[in-house]
Amino acid sequence: MSDSTQPDVDVVVVGAGFAGMYLLHRLREAGFTSRVFERADDVGGTWYWNRYPGARCDIRSIDYSYSFSPGLEQEWEWSEKFATQPEILRYAQHVAERFDLYRDIDFETSVDKAVYDDDSGLWHITTSRTETVRCRHYVMATGCLSTSKLPELPGHGSFTGPTYHTGHWPHHEIDFTGLRVGVVGTGSSGIQSIPVIASQAAELTVFQRTPNFSMPAHNGSNDPDELAAVKAEYPEYRQRAKYSAVGVPADPPTRSALDVDEEERNQLYEAGWQIGGLGGLGVFNDLRLNQQANDTAAEFVRNKIRSIVDEPELAETLCPTDYPYGTKRLCVDDGYYSTFNLDHVRLVDLKKTPLERITTTGVETTDESFEFDAIVFATGFDAMTGAIVNVDITGVGDRTIKNYWEDGPKTYLGLTVAGFPNFYAITGPGSPSVLSNMMVSIEQHVDWIMDCIEHMREAGLTSIEPTPEAEAQWGEHVVAVADLTLYPKANSWYMGANVKGKPRVILPYIGGVGEYRRICDEVAVSGYSGFILS
């Protein structure tokens, strides 16, 4: 008979995306026992689910890759500057094989419930296979954008043709050739998929609620000389990424956009536009801090849209005007704006004529009825908190995370929660997460957790939990940093604004990955200040 005061394993990990995979590797190397549960039938997380046409990473592949294994980073060859979803998924599968991870992952198994048992100090984790596993440490490696969101419209489910969500794309190729297709949503997923769908569909109607700023990707194959140069100095390159603002090596800009005259400013923006990508216009240090500075970048992009889109009224509809540049997730595209010059592509402005319902044959706005053969919902996710609160997690004294986070997530360092001992969220709310190169943030969190639980093992400690004071102070710091920026001005998923009823609070930490890493390291070096260890 098993002893209920003893764990079945040291650690349970939920999710086998890049976070769960690396954690499993580290746990094994350190001699901890673990179980990893993954609801998909393979590794890859985000890159397993988001198979929509045109899906790519908009961080360069030389940056968006693991740094923990010199052998891996030397042997893997990325074919393009911005890797496609299939290539990133192949990379994840390669990592799982190379480090023999598959044998320790339970696929097609989700975690439904996690209850902390005060008496034994263990978590009881219940899976969709009705198995309960007792563990000392419980880690949610469930990703920031994994709980997809559909429009809450009457008639949902009544459409008789196929519907797709970009975040749950089928595993076989979907051919839209000759079809009348409707796409709802113009965030990153919409902006990446719309040009590809337009190249197949007979008619494409795009339903836009909020226009987005998008930078050209200027994608292409990787220059072999550049790749060789990066590989030759990968350790230094990665080190720079770790202490950078967003997890990509870059020299921070030193000037204000208002320090130069309009001509010079636009020349610098133009040079940045030609480079493209998320950081293209990041040539000044105050674009996200100062509205007047931001206006110059916003107007530059609007003028680009006006120059690309032939029809002036249509161009204006595609121009974002009611939030600062970069405060909703900036997009990176391959021919997005020019797609609207095609005769068979139409844009519907939902700000003027909102969607009213889904019908059996299509959708209805307040003034028109549309018929489609297929509908694509590129409508995003319940970001950052969705995947965590969707599991029934109960900590000390019957406190559930869902209730505890009712007014917004509370965490210490975006990693841990008061009243939930030995519980960790990788790239959780309150950490740089979605405002960073996720690979850098994932490795940093996993390394921090590993240092922490190794320290506990060595010191004979069994429990770690943040103090309510440390948690509250961290929450105030996250908000105070955000309030120095323009981010709170936008109705973005960074602010929880895309989900009805979700509290409007900043979710990611805006202080930068380098600064954040220093804070986390200081906490550890100080003997885990802000935590109660026992």
Query: Could you list the residues that contact ligand NA7 (CB under 6 A)?
Result: 145, 151, 166, 184-190, 207, 209-210, 329, 350, 355, 378-381, 434, 493, 498
CA distance 361 to 172: 24
Decide whether 145 or 293 has the Cβ nearer to ligand NA7. Answer: 145
Which residues, other chains included, contact 495 with Cβ-Cβ below 8 Å and sequence gap of 6+? Answer: 487, 488, 504, 505, 506, 507
DSSP class of residue 477 equals: H
CA distance 23 to 39: 17
Decide whether 268 or 438 has the Cβ nearer to ligand NA7. Answer: 438
487, 492, 494, 497: CA torsion to nearest 10:
120
- Which residue do the tokens 């998929």 mark? 193
Tokens for 198, please give them.
């337009």
Kindly list the distances between the CA atom of residue 525 and the CA atoms of 118, 141, 169, 449, 511, in Å, as whole numbers in the listed order. 28, 24, 44, 13, 20
CB 470 within 8 A of CB 476: no
Decide whether 110 or 491 has the Cβ nearer to ligand NA7. Answer: 491
As measured in angstroms, the least distance from the Cβ of 452 to ligand NA7 is 28
As measured in angstroms, the least distance from the Cβ of 192 to ligand NA7 is 8
As measured in angstroms, the least distance from the Cβ of 151 to ligand NA7 is 3
As measured in angstroms, the least distance from the Cβ of 162 to ligand NA7 is 19
As measured in angstroms, the least distance from the Cβ of 231 to ligand NA7 is 27
Tokens for 338, please give them.
């020019």
Residue nearest to ligand NA7 (CB): 187
As measured in angstroms, the least distance from the Cβ of 465 to ligand NA7 is 31
As measured in angstroms, the least distance from the Cβ of 2 to ligand NA7 is 42
CB 22 within 8 A of CB 438: no
Give kind and range of the element (H or E) at residue 435: none
Decide whether 99 or 493 has the Cβ nearer to ligand NA7. Answer: 493
CA distance 360 to 355: 15
Decide whether 85 or 166 has the Cβ nearer to ligand NA7. Answer: 166
CA distance 110 to 328: 31
As measured in angstroms, the least distance from the Cβ of 153 to ligand NA7 is 7
CB 211 within 8 A of CB 320: yes
Q: CB-hemisphere CA count at 13 Å for 520? A: 30
- Which residue do the tokens 């990955």 mark? 513
Decide whether 146 or 296 has the Cβ nearer to ligand NA7. Answer: 146
As measured in angstroms, the least distance from the Cβ of 26 to ligand NA7 is 25
Residue among 1, 4, 2 nearest 124 (CA): 4
Decide whether 381 or 448 has the Cβ nearer to ligand NA7. Answer: 381
Enumerate the H helices of 99-181 as residue ranges: none
How do 180-184 and 392-394 pair as beta strands?
Answer: unpaired
Residue among 9, 12, 7, 21 nearest 140 (CA): 12
Decide whether 444 or 498 has the Cβ nearer to ligand NA7. Answer: 498
Decide whether 355 or 470 has the Cβ nearer to ligand NA7. Answer: 355
Decide whether 467 or 491 has the Cβ nearer to ligand NA7. Answer: 491
CA distance 377 to 185: 7
As measured in angstroms, the least distance from the Cβ of 350 to ligand NA7 is 5
Residue among 361, 382, 18, 328 nearest 191 (CA): 328
As measured in angstroms, the least distance from the Cβ of 145 to ligand NA7 is 5
Decide whether 32 or 207 has the Cβ nearer to ligand NA7. Answer: 207
